[in-house]
Structure 1
């Protein structure tokens, strides 16, 4: 049964990476034509409906999902995720899917580096070495002196740092709050904030793009549901290596649809970053054992 669950979880994670890559491509298309704040707002409306449906079916219902031992941290987490989505979409439009994802995949290394000050976890010299090697990979991607190192190139690195902090805070609040509580706060506070910002940037949208907007909303809901389901049936440490496949799908979409170019230094740097990230995950698992 455990082996079947692992296979099912891996299959679910692979499918999740495909859905998220599709979501990123649609986000790039829509944000290239319409205001990013409006796109994120509409996406969060559907996300909030999904969260409400999940909370209504959970033990304790919506009232139980509202009760948190860390309300301020939960609210901050939600705002941090919305801001990270804004930053990522900006990077998709201005840097492309390939370069953005190649830098963004360093976030597991940032999680490992920040787990000490945020969670009080011990990070040994082996993982610190892997973190350092991973960031050398980021430098290979950015290729100092080539012209890519600029304010724009730092955008996906900022998004990675924000997402890493979001993940660490999620682990912190999980010590007392159930997953349903964190999910509810993420969706509802995020929707309120995205609406407060996005309502000032409304633009008319063509019929075709409303269809793409609908697909974006569906992929966002489906991706989160599949990710939750994958972590329910298999260990996170066993599934995390497969999350790097999103870089593969994103690169394929970027080259085939948007005309992005996979430069040799980006491929090499991404391989270094991914290898360092996989090592930190493996080492964390060994320490846990």
Structure 2
């Protein structure tokens, strides 16, 4: 049942970003010690079970959730998100949580920029200014020409592009499929795709790390459930800006657990990106439905899930 309790929705979205930040921290730890594809595969197996179990509780059950007239598009979405998660987790290992999330925060701006050529939507000059401002923030973080540029810095930017494309494909799919159907195919298609390659990268996991793997799966399922609840009780456009709290929580974990540094220049760039992103979301709210952030929740809205990863 949907509602319009914005305060409750904001609280749930903040809780969602905290859980997803914890998920990212555990992902970084495991990917530093095991192959990234194997870690994501195990996580996706649990996610697929969660999606199937959740769909079974909805009207029509699993059969209704799986029914689609565009299976190719739905499979492409699921495969793209699984690949994006692998790229982003690799970014955590190469750059850390702080810098990866700071760069990744530009994905709503990429959604806005690409919505014109891909979906034929109108993007006004104010949004183009916001998009340009956000990418100035990205350049501030990457600082090409001002330091020894590391190609690894482009990894989270690639993940942001992939996640934005996934979001646009989700909006395109929503023209003919329900959000519940897209949610189902996101989990099942992604799990099937990564299982085709994941076993080739299998590595023995020590006892305590299986506990961390279990925690990663629980964080993933819990985060998606919280995101679903947030979108059920409040409008997506009202709670979307609070998805940026994931950067705050991830930075706290990166500094306190992994010993990362809060570079003032990186934070300044991130502030520009977040400011431009929130402006873009507010403009979208005034002119029409908020741009999809590519959330995998069964409602149109990341993430989350920029948080929904």
The bucket for the TM-score relative to the shorter chain is over 0.9
CA shift digits 1:257-278 (9 cap, x unpaired): 1011111110100000000001
Shift of 1:3: 9.4
CA distance in 2 between counterparts of 1:200 and 1:277 reads 39
Question: What is the total number of aligned residue pairs between the two structures?
Answer: 288
- Contact 2:91 2:155 survives alignment (8 Å): yes
CA shift digits 1:204-233 (9 cap, x unpaired): 111110000000000000111111111111
Shift of 1:21: 0.4
Shift of 1:183: 1.0
Aligned-residue CA RMSD in angstroms?
Answer: 1.4
Which residue of structure 2 aligns with residue 43 of structure 1? 43
- Contact 1:142 1:148 survives alignment (8 Å): no
Which residue of structure 2 aligns with residue 279 of structure 1? 279
CA shift digits 1:68-98 (9 cap, x unpaired): 1221110000000000001001000010000
CA shift digits 1:161-188 (9 cap, x unpaired): 0001111111111111111111111111
Query: Where do residues 166-245 of structure 1 align in structure 2 (5 Å cutoff)?
Result: 166-245=166-245
Which residue of structure 2 aligns with residue 98 of structure 1? 98
Q: Which moved more, 1:109-118 or 1:15-24?
A: 109-118
- Secondary structure, in 3 states, of the residue corresponding to 1:152? helix
Which residue of structure 1 aligns with residue 298 of structure 2? none
Gaps of 5+ in 2: 290-309
CA distance in 2 between counterparts of 1:194 and 1:146 reads 38
Query: Where do residues 235-274 of structure 1 align in structure 2 (5 Å cutoff)?
Result: 235-274=235-274
Which residue of structure 2 aligns with residue 26 of structure 1? 26
Shift of 1:197: 1.1
Which residue of structure 2 aligns with residue 142 of structure 1? 142
Shift of 1:6: 0.7
CA distance in 1 between counterparts of 2:233 and 2:171 reads 18
- Contact 1:137 1:269 survives alignment (8 Å): yes
CA distance in 2 between counterparts of 1:223 and 1:284 reads 25
Q: TM-score with structure 1 length normalisation?
A: 0.97
CA shift digits 1:138-162 (9 cap, x unpaired): 1111112243633211110000000
Which residue of structure 2 aligns with residue 56 of structure 1? 56
Shift of 1:288: 2.2
Q: CA, structure 1 residues 4+128, in 2 after alignment: closer, same or farther (shift >3 Å)?
A: closer
CA distance in 1 between counterparts of 2:129 and 2:253 reads 33
Shift of 1:198: 0.8
Which residue of structure 2 aligns with residue 115 of structure 1? 115
CA distance in 1 between counterparts of 2:19 and 2:110 reads 24
Q: TM-score with structure 2 length normalisation?
A: 0.90
